[in-house]
């Protein structure tokens, strides 16, 4: 009998490969198919790990099969990928069970003629697991081609992306970046300071045998080291689980962005791209009962998620507004602070969503940049004189970050970049000479986020 986790993993990988769903949705669907927590954990690990190591796995498949992966049936390729991932990266899984299930999965997918091929590729790889034919780290730092092959194939990243990082940061830091992306991300949560302090939350979780430690930089964050604070349910993680009103699931780098806004009690704040609402609730806490936050998004489904998050957090000074995707915003220029957490490529979050590295291309960056500049211009129209507009992304690439700011300023003489040093001393480690924020995996151990503050004179 095929292990339920492997069957669910194959279904999830099929859905991602067919572009029916993205990785987060595939994980939710896989989890829903299983009732045992151990099966759920294994299925999610197989799906995520297979996508994370996809390029390396394909390189090995081509070597041991003697043919390009493009010539393989999709189901057969997915079965070999997920099985190789387990054989090479999950040492607690018996190799014999993995190979037997791979053959049975192939048979159940009605690919009987491919069972021998699947068995042969897996066993050939097993015999050579201690001398895998993957590119080695080049001895010469200036050998850019060898460096790109090493980072791209051995560490499973697209060539175009590692070449960019090599040019900007060099081999040493680029290697640290790809290694960071291939490490499983910890569960990170933020105390909902509308209800509880970080220390109070940590103590409450400890009572439930959930061990946490404070995040290194974010003042309200906790990293979960053992135990599970979430009782997983479909939908919004912010309203699901133990002590649901007291915390939200939020990456540490993301938690730093509201600090750049420098929201203060009594301020009028606009959060323009607010869903799922983690930053919104942080801004609501900073604005206090005398201030208010208008939280917006363009898609009805994301508006529903935003409403649920705000309600669960108890953010009574937040109003949720659906705004059109283009054109003038339905507000007067009255806001003291505006946050534009812009839709972007997500290339800074590859560790948490490894499929992004395969879904994005270099050509996507210009299109994202165009939309981001337009979004900034719309937001600028409703900022009051003397107000601050913070532009942020979870992208690592200049076309979505510095270039967007430069293009905006070229047509907005009334605006200037504000040095983020004055926003919060907690941001000091991330601010460059131009006063903007970069969190970098190789320097800070965080996902790659960007933030810049623009002030209206």
Length of the chain: 457
Of 441, 444, 450, 357, nearest to 179 (Cα)? 441
Is 394 designated active site?
yes
Q: What contacts 54, CB < 8 A, 6 or more positions away? A: 81, 156, 354, 358
- Dihedral sign computed on CA atoms, order 94, 97, 103, 108: negative
Q: How far is CA 204 from CA 24, 198, 208, 231, 364, in A?
A: 28, 10, 7, 15, 44
Alpha-carbon distance of 294 to 338, in angstroms, equals 9
Exposure string over 41-77, b if 16+ CB within 10 A, otherwise e: ebbbbbbbbbbbbbbbbbbbbbebbeeebeebeebbb
Strand partners, 249: 189
Q: For residues 96 and 62, is the Cβ–Cβ distance under 8 A? A: no
Closest CA to 156 of 356, 443, 9: 356
What order do you get walking across the sheet with 188-191 strand by strand?
A: 211-214, 221-226, 188-191, 247-249
Active-site residue, from 273, 296, 344, 394: 394
Question: β-strand 292-297 against 318-322: which pairing, if any?
Answer: parallel
Euclidean distance between CA atoms 231 and 242, whole angstroms: 6
Phi, psi of 34 (to 5 degrees): -115, 150
Beta bridge partners of 294: 270, 319
Unique residue bearing structure tokens 């037997």: 100
Rounded Cα distance between 248 and 309, Å, is 9
Report helix angle 23-33 to 37-52, nearest 10: 150
CB distance 362 to 347 below 8 Å: no
Residue 137 to residue 263: CA distance in whole angstroms: 46
Q: Which residues are catalytic?
A: 394
């Amino acid at each position: 009998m095929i292990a339920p986790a492997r069957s669910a993993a194959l279904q999830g990988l099929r859905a991602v490969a067919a572009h029916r769903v993205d990785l987060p949705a595939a994980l939710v669907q896989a989890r829903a198919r299983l009732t045992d927590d151990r099966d759920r954990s294994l299925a999610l690990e197989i799906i995520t790990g297979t996508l994370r190591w996809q390029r390396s796995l394909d390189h090995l498949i081509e070597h041991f099969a003697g043919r390009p992966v493009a010539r393989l049936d999709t189901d057969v390729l997915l079965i070999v990928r997920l099985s190789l991932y387990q054989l090479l990266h999950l040492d607690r899984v018996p190799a014999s069970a993995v190979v037997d299930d791979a053959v049975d999965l192939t048979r159940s997918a009605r690919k009987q003629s491919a069972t021998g091929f699947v068995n042969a590729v897996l066993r050939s790889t097993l015999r050579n697991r201690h001398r895998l034919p993957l590119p080695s780290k080049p001895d010469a730092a200036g050998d850019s081609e060898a460096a790109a092959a090493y980072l791209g194939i051995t560490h499973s990243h697209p060539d175009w992306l590692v070449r960019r990082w090599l040019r900007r940061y060099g081999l040493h830091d680029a290697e640290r970046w790809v290694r960071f992306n291939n490490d499983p991300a910890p569960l990170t949560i933020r105390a909902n300071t509308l209800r509880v302090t970080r220390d109070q939350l940590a103590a409450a979780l400890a009572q439930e045998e959930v061990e946490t430690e404070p995040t290194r930089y974010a003042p309200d964050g906790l990293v979960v080291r053992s135990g599970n604070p979430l009782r997983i349910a479909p939908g919004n993680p912010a309203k699901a689980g133990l002590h649901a009103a007291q915390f939200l699931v939020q990456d540490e780098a993301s938690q730093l962005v509201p600090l750049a806004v420098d929201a203060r009690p009594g301020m009028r704040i606009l959060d323009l791209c607010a869903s799922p609402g983690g930053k919104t609730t942080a801004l609501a806490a900073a604005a206090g009962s005398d201030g208010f936050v208008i939280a917006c998004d363009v898609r009805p489904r994301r508006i529903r998620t935003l409403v649920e998050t705000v309600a669960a957090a108890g953010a009574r000074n937040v109003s949720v507004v659906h705004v059109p995707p283009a054109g003038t915003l339905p507000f007067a220029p009255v806001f003291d602070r505006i946050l534009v957490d812009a839709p972007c490529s997500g290339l800074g979050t590859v560790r948490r969503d490894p499929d992004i590295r395969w879904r994005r291309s270099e050509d996507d960056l210009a299109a994202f940049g165009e939309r981001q500049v337009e979004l900034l211009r719309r937001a600028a129209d409703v900022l009051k004189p003397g107000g601050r507009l913070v532009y942020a992304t979870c992208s690592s690439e200049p076309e979505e970050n510095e270039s967007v700011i430069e293009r905006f300023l070229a047509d907005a003489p009334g605006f200037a970049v504000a040095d983020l040093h004055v926003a919060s001393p907690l941001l000091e480690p991330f601010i460059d000479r131009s006063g903007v924020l970069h969190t970098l995996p190789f320097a800070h151990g965080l996902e790659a986020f960007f933030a810049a503050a623009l002030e209206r004179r």
